[in-house]
């Protein structure tokens, strides 16, 4: 075990390279910063380059290397470009966090084909392609950990977010399948996130921000997902793969 002056070796990511999609804000940013604080070099990807660059500067200020890369993580070709950029820059990927996603609230009969495709692409198609590329790379090298950020909506689908719920359910299935396909060197797990007070919460009512229908009666703060991500990314979870971990405050 580590001491105050010596980090616990189970959570020392020195020499590791992490890629976090949707890493410029919200849950993704919190996970990216936590990995960097513990020694990892971190690549940040999202659609807005300026936001990625701001996050990268915070990581570099810790003495780590970082890469800011603008990519729509629901598009197959852009995901491939992202993967190649990380390999070209760092030579490896040890940790992938598939965090980019969206879940617009809309009655199902009003969902257009274009919106349906967009939701499925960002929450399932892009993560699949990126995870497959990373898993092959890891399996051919020193191994690694892939973490897919899912949602409690995948387990208990909610009205008016059916495409999102379906996509995240597919992400859960993908997690289990990839865990089996690329074992034993690559571990693949998912975090089923509940409601968190990220940027999206600004559009909620005051009541929705202050309470939640779960055992704890509240929403999560973004940093409360960090410990679960660190666990799944680290050797502390060496016997954990294909798991769907709920971090939802005890949702029913």
Name the DSSP letter for residue 32.
H
Looking at the DSSP bridge assignments, the partners of residue 45 are 21, 69
Question: 15: pLDDT confidence band, cut at 50, 70 and 90?
Answer: very high
Summarize pLDDT for 110-162 with one digit per residue, the tens: 999 999 999 999 999 999 999 999 999 999 999 999 999 999 999 999 899 99
Summarize pLDDT for 179-195 with one digit per residue, the tens: 999 999 999 999 999 98
Burial track 10-30 (b if 16+ CB lie within 10 A, e otherwise): ebbbeebbbbbbbbbbbbbbb
Is residue 23 a contact partner of residue 55, using CB atoms and an 8 Å limit?
A: yes
Q: Which CATH architecture has domain 9-247?
A: 3-Layer(aba) Sandwich (3.40)
Q: Respond yes or no: is residue 116 known to be catalytic.
A: no
Mean pLDDT of all residues belonging to the chain: 94
pTM, rounded to two decimals: 0.94
Residue 4 has pLDDT above 90, yes or no: no
Is residue 144 a contact partner of residue 94, using CB atoms and an 8 Å limit?
A: yes
pLDDT at 223: 86
From the list 116, 164, 182, 231, the catalytic residue is 164
Domain range list for the chain: 9-247
Is residue 13 a contact partner of residue 232, using CB atoms and an 8 Å limit?
A: no
């Amino acid at each position: 075990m580590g001491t105050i002056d010596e980090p616990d070796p189970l959570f020392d990511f020195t020499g590791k390279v992490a890629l976090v999609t949707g890493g410029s804000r919200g849950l993704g940013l919190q996970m990216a910063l936590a990995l960097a604080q513990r020694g990892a070099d971190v690549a940040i990807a999202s659609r807005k380059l300026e936001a990625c660059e701001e996050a990268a500067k915070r990581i570099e200020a810790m003495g780590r290397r970082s890469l800011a890369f603008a990519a729509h993580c629901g598009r197959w070709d852009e995901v491939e470009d992202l993967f190649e950029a990380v390999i070209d820059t760092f030579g490896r990927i040890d940790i992938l966090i598939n965090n980019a996603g969206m879940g617009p609230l809309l009655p199902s009969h009003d969902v257009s084909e274009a919106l349906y495709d967009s939701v499925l692409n960002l929450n399932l198609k892009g993560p699949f392609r990126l995870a497959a590329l990373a898993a092959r790379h890891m399996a051919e090298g020193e191994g690694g950990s892939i973490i897919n950020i899912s949602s409690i909506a995948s387990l208990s689908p909610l009205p008016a977010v059916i495409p999102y719920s379906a996509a995240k359910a597919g992400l859960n299935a993908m997690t289990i399948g990839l865990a089996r396909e690329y074992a034993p060197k690559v571990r693949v797990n998912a975090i089923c996130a509940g409601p968190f007070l990220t940027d999206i919460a600004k559009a909620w009512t005051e009541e929705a921000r202050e309470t939640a229908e779960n055992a704890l009666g509240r929403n999560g703060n973004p940093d409360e997902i960090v410990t679960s991500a660190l666990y799944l990314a680290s050797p502390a979870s060496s016997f954990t793969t294909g798991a769907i971990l709920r971090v939802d405050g005890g949702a029913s």
